[in-house]
A and B are shown apart, each in its own frame.
Chain A
Amino acid sequence: MPLIRSIVKGRWGYFFIGPAYVLFTIFTIYPLFEGIRLSFYDAGLKMRTWVGFENYARLLTDSAFRRAFLNTLHFVVIIVPVILVLSLLFAVLIFGLNYVLQSIFRAAFYLPSVASGVVLVAVWLWIYNPTYGLLNYLTGLVGLPRIAWLGDARWALPALSVVVISWALGRPIILFIAGLNGISREVYEAAMIDGASSWQQFIRITLPLLTPTTVFVLVTQTIGVFQTFVVVQLLTRGGPAYATQTIVYSIYVTAFQFLQFGYAAAMGGVLLVVSGSIALFQLRLMRADIEY
């Protein structure tokens, strides 16, 4: 048997991947499959009854879940483009500076990312307070009316988006600076000889050559936004009137407050399909890069 021979020959390979893979199987692969299985049951803490596709059927008619699904997409649509534009802008500005200023600004923009989400959420809860919060004071200075940022269904989702953006710029900025470093000076020199303006250089050279970085940032940030939990849990609890309910928060509440494990697992199934497609997309990108 050649397969057995090559398995024996490759035994040190299995030895080295062993610890990681055993843990990975127990704590990732198994729960993943078990989660899918659970989504076909009506399950609580103790009992469990097979119900087939009933949980999924119920999801289709559950208007709160539909709201959560759309809110999640809404978050992605607001947050990801803002992160892309701001981090690219700041990266380009930082890139033109000398080494010392580069390090200072890079660190300044990365600093909030090392703080735990809870830490920043605690401050934002204060900043958004309708009566003594900093934001209403500042908007009041220019004559705008007071707003209950987290209590108003129109403002809650944008308000949470701002919080997420307030810690998300650091990593993309570093990636874009690295990307800019990878573009050769000669390309720009040639363009300058041809009389291209800075704006033209940016549009025709910088942007296209940064595409791999841009796509990477786009995908990783989208995945990040899908996992947004702490802002929802601590700032709005999904409210007001489901205005900030997300898929991830719905799963948490359904499972750990209502103890409807099967139904929550079905929500997880939906999340699996959505994030799985994003993951496959990212994998194709990485594969294109890795197998040189």
Chain B
Amino acid sequence: MKSTKRMLAAAILAVAAVIYLLPLYWMITGSFKIQSDTMKVPPEFFPRNPTLANYRALLFGGMPAFRWLFNSIVISAAIAFGSVVTSAMAGYGFAKKNFPGRNWLFWLMLLTMTMPLQIRLIPLFSMVRQFNWSNTYMGAVFPHLAYPFGVFLVRQFSHTIPNDLLDAARVDGASEIGTFTSIVMPLLKPALAAVAIFSFIQGWNDYMWQLIVLNQNRMLTLPLGVAKLVTSASGYDLGLAMAGATFAFLPMLVVFIIFQRYFVQGITMGAVKG
């Protein structure tokens, strides 16, 4: 009785998962189809004449796809690194230090966490123009370096660090900075891993801001490049667009497979306890 129920559940989930993953399957198989096959009716569920032509066109056809990849990596990595440093320090400060204004400064930060970027879009845009940051990494990275969700996550996690430990370090004459780097940071590792991953993904998928700051072909990131393939005026080449989309998806797939554990941890850490 119990096991038939389980099998039924697994069967329902399997069907749902197949439907849910169908777009990704369609994208990957589509990237191996030649242009005429992508428009076939009935469609080919498995490419009958698989070809690498789309990837050849994407990677070696004069499109700076590798440059786009490089830009995406640099921007996302810089955002992740900066977010980890600022979130680690601020989360620890908010959790373990006493200072006037601590509470309202923290809540002010949290309050803006949920606000859409579009509200501050125009002033940010003017600012970036004034700094001459259009089409630079700085312009794409800096607005993301204060990461309220990361601060929140680290603050929550810092509560698990026993005060006695910090007091003991102080008694032993450790400096504030020494305590932070050699005692606190290692203990915060799981939270910092989650901050690194989420801010990296946020940087990678930050389409709207990048759309506004970056418009020179060589400064585009992968999502912007893919969007360009999809919306190209000459009518778009489906196979090529799917190759671009797959190429943009692969790095995230790798990150996800390697760090899966931290994804689950980070998501549940950041939520209200159920």
Contacts and interface: CB of A to CB of B under 8 A. Distances in A.
**Which range contains the number of A residues in contact with the other chain?**
35 or more
B192 to A, nearest CB: 14
Given A17-B105, A19-B90, A122 B145 contact: no
Contact of B110 (A127, A271, A286): A286
B93 A271 contact: no
Chain A CB within 10 Å, residue with most, of B5, B10, B120: B120
B6 interface: yes
Contact of B97 (A12, A31, A118): A12
B233 interface: no
B143 A114 contact: no
B231 A27 contact: no
Given A123-B245, A229-B208, A14 B99 contact: yes
Chain B interface category by residue count: 35 or more
A282 interface: yes
B20 A169 contact: yes
B168 interface: no
Nearest to B23: A123
Contacts of B256: 107, 110-111, 114
Contacts of B30: 123, 126
A17 B123 contact: no
B40 interface: yes
A7 interface: yes
A175 B267 contact: yes
For the complex, would chain A's binding face be called helix, strand, loop or mixed by DSSP majority?
Answer: helix
B111 A279 contact: yes
B52 interface: no
Contacts, number: 307
A210 B30 CA distance: 41
B114 A275 contact: yes
Contacts of A255: 121-122, 125
A38 B122 contact: yes
Interface of A: 3, 6-7, 9-21, 23-24, 27-32, 34-35, 38, 90, 93-94, 96-97, 101, 105-112, 114-127, 131-132, 134, 137, 166, 169, 171, 174-175, 178-180, 182, 209-210, 212-213, 215-216, 223, 226-227, 229-230, 233-234, 247-248, 251-252, 255-256, 261, 264-265, 268-269, 271-272, 275-276, 278-280, 282-283, 285-286, 289-290
Given A10-B102, A24-B148, 17 more contacts: A7-B99, A9-B98, A15-B93, A19-B89, A19-B90, A23-B145, A94-B9, A112-B20, A116-B205, A118-B248, A122-B227, A123-B27, A179-B274, A216-B272, A223-B114, A226-B116, A255-B121
17 contacts: A17-B94, A19-B85, A19-B89, A108-B17, A110-B263, A112-B23, A116-B207, A122-B244, A126-B30, A131-B39, A132-B41, A137-B43, A178-B268, A210-B274, A268-B120, A269-B119, A275-B115
